[in-house]
């Protein structure tokens, strides 16, 4: 085996996911697998989702692949470090890729990785694997798109590799390499419908300051509408899922492409209900009507805040009123609306949170999720607040960027109360509007709203001035 591609998300070791049970396959490494196989490489895939750590150890002991490539993100960092360490004990070469390693290349290399792949992996691995098999980790300077350490400990980052322009020239993800029916079964057992994911584009050209672009940069490249529609037809014929999740960053960003894609699906007789992500400024009535005709049952919008001041600080390039109007437009056509809300962004005050609550009441999304902002290395947000970043874990090995918070903003208790107030207040408003609020639930929501509001007042003076950790709260409204 030339390379074993792996990720490190173990669903059965994640108590939070076990409550949700909405797993999706690791499309990133499946794209790498199909590409490398098309170039004649012997490729194995370790899908950790339904496995245990011991399963990975048994596999690498048995197969002894020439190279082990592990997809790495912030959430799976600790698992990746443990897997890489075990591979090194066996004398295997370890390559890490994904959004997390590029900005922490030195740390990951010191922790045991041999090579870091920066950006897209297909072309880099095509050149890197034969070199590693023949020469080991020596003389890597001329391979673009990587970072490595010389014998003297010096970290070298080579010239960035050019991105793939024609995505449709690449094969589809290697779904047959993993147990797709198991993903579908878990969805069906827990939600009554099976779901499969697909992605038709790479990258996002927008400039939201907190968003990482470490893999695809500020680019946007799409497959042809015909190629994308052919894949969905194949998925229908091969797996026949009840739902599709389009994982594109902004599904309707290119409206010419979008309308051609809708027509291509219609020509193939494919109509599978789906959910996707987009932006208010990339929606209009014609787009929304087409989404509904295609079978879109839910669209997620990164609303982030109801304060225009905060949206402008984030460089979101959206208007609060437009988000509200497009939310109502989606609902007019029977499409459920979801929103992402971010609390605690630099400069946010209580009046901005109040504006967000009012925004949610006016918009009336079917569901919204909240999180507390944290600076991700490599983003503009991180650069802006770097001199004020705090953490209660000084050792890089023991923390992730989620453990970072910013001096001078409200305390973690404040944001816990703010989330409680927001979720309860919006749910109360929704229930009263719908006239479907029982007295016990009304009293419970009223009490929780009051507790949250009072708690915010009592903790307003608590400011992050010393090392501390912000907990990320994710809650769903209307439950």
Q: How far apart are CA 319 and CA 308, in angstroms?
A: 7
Residues 360 and 422 in one domain: yes
Give, for all 479 residues of the chain, the pLDDT tens digit. Answer: 999 999 999 999 999 889 999 999 999 999 999 999 999 999 999 999 999 999 999 999 999 999 999 999 999 999 999 999 999 999 999 999 999 999 999 999 999 999 999 999 999 999 999 999 999 999 999 999 999 999 899 999 999 999 999 999 999 999 999 999 999 999 999 999 999 999 999 999 999 999 998 898 888 999 999 999 999 999 999 999 999 999 999 999 999 999 999 999 999 999 999 999 999 999 999 999 999 999 999 999 989 999 999 999 999 999 999 999 999 999 999 999 999 999 999 999 999 999 999 999 999 999 999 999 999 999 999 999 999 998 765 689 989 999 888 888 899 999 999 999 999 999 999 999 888 899 999 999 999 999 999 999 999 988 865 433 333 333 333 32
Asked if residue 173 lies in contact with residue 232, where contact means CB atoms within 8 angstroms, the answer is no
CATH of the domain at 43: 3.40.50.280
Residues 252 and 352 in one domain: yes
| C-alpha neighbours within 13 Å on the C-beta side of residue 323 | 30
Residues 304 and 395 in one domain: yes
Question: Does a structural domain hold residue 225?
Answer: yes
Question: How are beta strands 201-202 and 221-222 bridged, if at all?
Answer: antiparallel
Structural domain containing residue 424: 193-459
CATH of the domain at 297: 3.20.20.70
Residues 334 and 283 in one domain: yes
Residues 146 and 269 in one domain: no
Residues 392 and 310 in one domain: yes
Residues 362, 367, 372, 373: is their CA dihedral positive or negative? Answer: negative
Domain count, the chain: 2
Question: Does a structural domain hold residue 136?
Answer: yes
The pLDDT of residue 68 = 98
Residues 204 and 134 in one domain: no
Question: Does a structural domain hold residue 101?
Answer: yes
The pLDDT of residue 477 = 32
Question: Does a structural domain hold residue 185?
Answer: no
Residues 239 and 147 in one domain: no
Give CA angle at 265 (199, 288), nearest 5°: 80
Contacts 24+ apart (CB under 8 A), 348-354: 348/305, 348/307, 348/310, 348/409, 350/456, 350/460, 351/307, 352/305, 352/306, 352/307, 352/309, 352/310, 353/307, 353/418, 353/422, 353/456
Q: How far apart are CA 78 and CA 222, in angstroms?
A: 33
The pLDDT of residue 394 = 67
Asked if residue 429 lies in contact with residue 375, where contact means CB atoms within 8 angstroms, the answer is no
Residues 131 and 225 in one domain: no
Residue that is written with structure tokens 């075990």 in the block:
86
Question: Does a structural domain hold residue 469?
Answer: no
Question: Does a structural domain hold residue 249?
Answer: yes
The pLDDT of residue 470 = 35
Asked if residue 197 lies in contact with residue 25, where contact means CB atoms within 8 angstroms, the answer is yes
Residues 114 and 233 in one domain: no
Q: How far apart are CA 428 and CA 446, in angstroms?
A: 7
Residues 152 and 197 in one domain: no
Question: Does a structural domain hold residue 169?
Answer: no
What single-letter DSSP state applies at residue 73? -
Backbone angles phi, psi at 407, to 5 degrees: -60, 140
| C-alpha neighbours within 13 Å on the C-beta side of residue 270 | 25
Question: Does a structural domain hold residue 479?
Answer: no
Asked if residue 393 lies in contact with residue 444, where contact means CB atoms within 8 angstroms, the answer is no
Residues 78 and 122 in one domain: yes
């Amino acid at each position: 085996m030339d390379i074993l591609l792996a990720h490190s998300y173990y669903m059965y070791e994640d108590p939070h996911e076990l409550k949700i049970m909405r797993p999706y396959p690791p499309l990133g490494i499946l794209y790498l697998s199909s590409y490398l196989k098309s170039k004649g490489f012997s490729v194995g895939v370790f899908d950790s989702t339904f496995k245990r750590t011991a399963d990975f150890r048994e596999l690498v002991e048995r197969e002894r692949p020439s190279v082990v490539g592990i997809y790495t993100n912030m959430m799976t960092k600790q698992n990746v470090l443990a897997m890489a360490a075990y591979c090194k004990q066996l004398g295997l070469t370890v390559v890490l890729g994904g959004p997390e390693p590029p900005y922490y290349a030195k740390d990951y290399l010191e922790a045991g990785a041999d090579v870091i792949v920066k950006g897209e992996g297909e072309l880099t691995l095509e050149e890197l694997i034969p070199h590693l098999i023949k020469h080991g980790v020596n003389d890597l300077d001329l391979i673009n798109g990587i970072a490595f350490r010389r014998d003297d400990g010096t970290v070298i980052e080579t010239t960035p590799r050019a991105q793939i322009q024609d995505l449709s020239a690449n094969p589809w993800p290697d779904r047959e390499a993993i147990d797709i029916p198991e993903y579908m079964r878990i969805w069906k057992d827990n939600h009554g419908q099976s779901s499969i994911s697909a992605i038709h584009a790479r990258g996002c050209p927008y400039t939201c300051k907190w968003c990482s672009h470490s893999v695809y940069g500020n680019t946007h490249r799409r497959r042809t509408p015909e190629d994308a529609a052919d894949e969905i037809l194949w998925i229908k014929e091969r797996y026949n899922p009840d739902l599709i999740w389009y994982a594109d960053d902004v599904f309707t960003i290119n409206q010419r492409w979008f309308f051609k894609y809708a027509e291509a699906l219609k020509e193939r007789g494919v109509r599978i209900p789906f959910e996707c992500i987009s932006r208010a400024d990339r929606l209009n009535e014609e787009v929304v009507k087409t989404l509904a005709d295609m079978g879109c049952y839910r669209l997620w919008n990164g609303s982030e805040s109801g304060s225009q001041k905060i949206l402008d600080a984030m460089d979101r390039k959206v208007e609060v009123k437009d988000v509200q109007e497009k939310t109502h437009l989606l609902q007019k056509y029977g499409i459920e609306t979801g929103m992402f809300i971010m609390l605690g962004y630099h400069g946010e005050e209580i009046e901005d949170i109040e504006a967000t609550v009012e925004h949610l009441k006016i918009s009336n999304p079917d569901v919204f999720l909240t999180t507390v902002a944290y600076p991700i290395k490599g983003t503009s947000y991180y650069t802006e607040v770097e001199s004020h970043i705090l953490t209660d874990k000084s050792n890089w090995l023991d923390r992730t960027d989620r453990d970072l918070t910013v001096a001078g903003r409200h305390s973690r208790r404040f944001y816990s109360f703010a989330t409680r107030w927001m979720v309860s207040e919006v749910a109360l408003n929704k229930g009263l509007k719908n006239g479907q609020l029982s007295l016990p639930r009304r009293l419970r929501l009223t009490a929780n709203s009051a507790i949250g509001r009072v708690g915010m007042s009592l903790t307003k003076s608590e400011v992050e001035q010393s090392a501390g950790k912000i907990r990320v709260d994710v809650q769903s409204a209307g439950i």
